[in-house]
Structure 1
Amino acid sequence: MSLDGTYDDANIFAKILRGEMPCARVFEDEHVFSFMDVFPQARGHTLVIPKHTQARNLLEEEPERLSHLILGVQRVARAVRAALNPDGIMISQFNGAVSGQTIYHLHVHIIPRWEGVALGRHGDGGMADMDELKRLADQISDKIA
């Protein structure tokens, strides 16, 4: 899909927000929702999405919503750090298929990194065990400040 298009409210993230699909929830406030990526590139790979939007990517989002989103990303990234003690944290966001975007609801990836541990490919690592994701989500959620 290109950078341009119409928001599809049947996308998986919209379904998660409406409670139609399960997820391993990490954090939620009035502006953002955070949950574990079911196709993680690394242990603890977490997503943060804006709740009240039809933006397919960063280029379509309203500035005020972006400020709430980045504050949510920072809050969750700090909790990932406190819970998992990684050597680094990669924060990424894709816009359009060519960039690697596969779900067309604006979202940000928080990916903990450890020295000497290879990063998995985006969406190619196989589906994670939901029980393990829920344990990680609880660990991270417990560190939300």
Structure 2
Amino acid sequence: MGGPWPDRLRVHSARPSRSRAHPGGADRLARAMRSGLNATGVNVLNASGPGSEQSVPHLHFHAVPRWPDDGISTWPTGQSQHRFDGDPAARLADALTAGKHHGS
């Protein structure tokens, strides 16, 4: 989720005091990928819940080292076919404002 946090612009450049924003030490691993592998970028991925293709039943993150010529994409290439009644962005904003957590 985006936000006005200039020190969190990139996971590998996050200040240590903000490292809790990157679960599992992903910021430290991202810096090691830059220095040890000469990666120019890092994707940190997570799948949570059955609708996300989560493969193991515990919280974990994947850190993928990236280079401009690596030939892979970690971004979705299409849009979800799931349909909502009403405006999904408004529903999400309402849930965030109300502090609701579906399924918790």
TM-score, structure 2 as length reference: 0.44
- Larger Rg over CA atoms: 2
TM-score, structure 1 as length reference: 0.33
Relative contact order, CA 8 A, sep 6+: which one is greater?
1
Q: Greater strand share, 1 or 2?
A: 1
Q: Greater helix share, 1 or 2?
A: 2
